[in-house]
Amino acid sequence: MSQPLLVVEGLVRDFGSFRAVDHVDFEVLPGTIHAVIGPNGAGKSTLFKLITGSLKPTSGHVTLSGESIEGKRAHAVARRGLVQVFQLSSVYSRLTVAESVAASIVSRRRRTLDVVTNFHRTALREATAILDQVGLAERASTIAGTLSHGEQRALEIAMALAIEPTVLMLDEPTAGMSPAETRATADLIVSEVRGRGITVVLSEHDMDVVFGISDHVTVLHQGQVIADGTPEAVRSHDQVMAIYLGHGAAKDGGAS
């Protein structure tokens, strides 16, 4: 059995007197798709921010490939290979689709974007190859900010792929998508993200996606892990069914 790539131990985050993440433990094995699910307000996004370094934990430990990363800043965590898909910023939204991905490639190599160098042309060529994989090749010259919602989310995944992460964290990758876009995104995560050997940690409200693509599921409720295991084990877990799946959140009732 392989060693876990990401280990979260006793993670706690308080906002004043409110405990949003309450002694969370879980392990992510390399090369897997690991879903974190739970009703609205369960603490999923807060947990992701604690892991990626955009929020500091009150206490607890996070290790990536055996190295402690808790409390480190997001860019330091990203340099170690753990990346969260970022929302298109206003700067990126004014670049074309291909330039946005090229900018990610450039940031990975920590070189300045210079429109006249060969390097820029190489990055654009590489960007085109990635866009092909996420189904955006035909949109390469389109201004990123004018893409449809589903296309923008695909572009965000393309930009994250361009950084060549070890672990990619996706917080609700299918939120607001049509059923067709949701299916395309699930396929993309399986074929182009895990297919490249990238480990995926995702939060998701669409249970068809969760149980269709995940290797492992951790269930949060009121900041605590209430179940953790294979999709089959979690699906038949009494407390999960009672608290979460039982009252209509299974398909779209809990989506946000």
Ligand X SMILES: Nc1ncnc2c1ncn2[C@@H]1O[C@H](COP(=O)(O)OP(=O)(O)OP(=O)(O)O)[C@@H](O)[C@H]1O
- Chain centroid to Cα 79, Å, comes to 16
Stretch that binds ligand X, among 14-22, 94-102, 108-116, 191-199 (CB under 6 A): 14-22
Range 18-24 contact pairs with CB under 8 angstroms and sequence separation of 24 or more: 19/223, 20/46, 20/223, 21/46, 21/47, 21/50, 21/57, 21/223, 22/222, 22/223, 22/224, 23/60, 23/224, 24/60, 24/220, 24/223, 24/224, 24/225
Considering the rule CB under 6 A, would residue 256 count as an interface residue with ligand X?
yes
Between 45 and 133, CB nearer to Mg ion: 45
Considering the rule CB under 6 A, would residue 15 count as an interface residue with ligand X?
yes
Q: What is the DSSP letter of 228?
A: E
Stretch that binds ligand X, among 43-51, 57-65, 109-117, 149-157 (CB under 6 A): 43-51
Site for Mg ion, residues 34 to 63, rule: CB under 5 A = 44-45
* Closest residue to Mg ion in the complex (CB): 45
Considering the rule CB under 6 A, would residue 42 count as an interface residue with ligand X?
yes
Q: What is the DSSP letter of 215?
A: S
Amino acid letter, 169: M
Structure tokens at 98: 């291909």
Between 68 and 256, CB nearer to Mg ion: 256
Structure tokens at 140: 């390469």
Least distance CB 148 / ligand X (angstroms): 22
Site for ligand X, residues 71 to 110, rule: CB under 6 A = none
Least distance CB 85 / ligand X (angstroms): 15
Sheet containing 67-68: order of strands: 18-28, 6-15, 59-64, 67-68
Q: Which of 4, 43, 150, 165 binds ligand X (CB under 6 A)?
A: 43
Which residues would be at the binding site for Mg ion (CB under 5 A)?
A: 44-45
User: Where do contacts with ligand X occur on this chain (CB under 6 A)?
Assistant: 15, 18, 20, 38, 40-46, 256
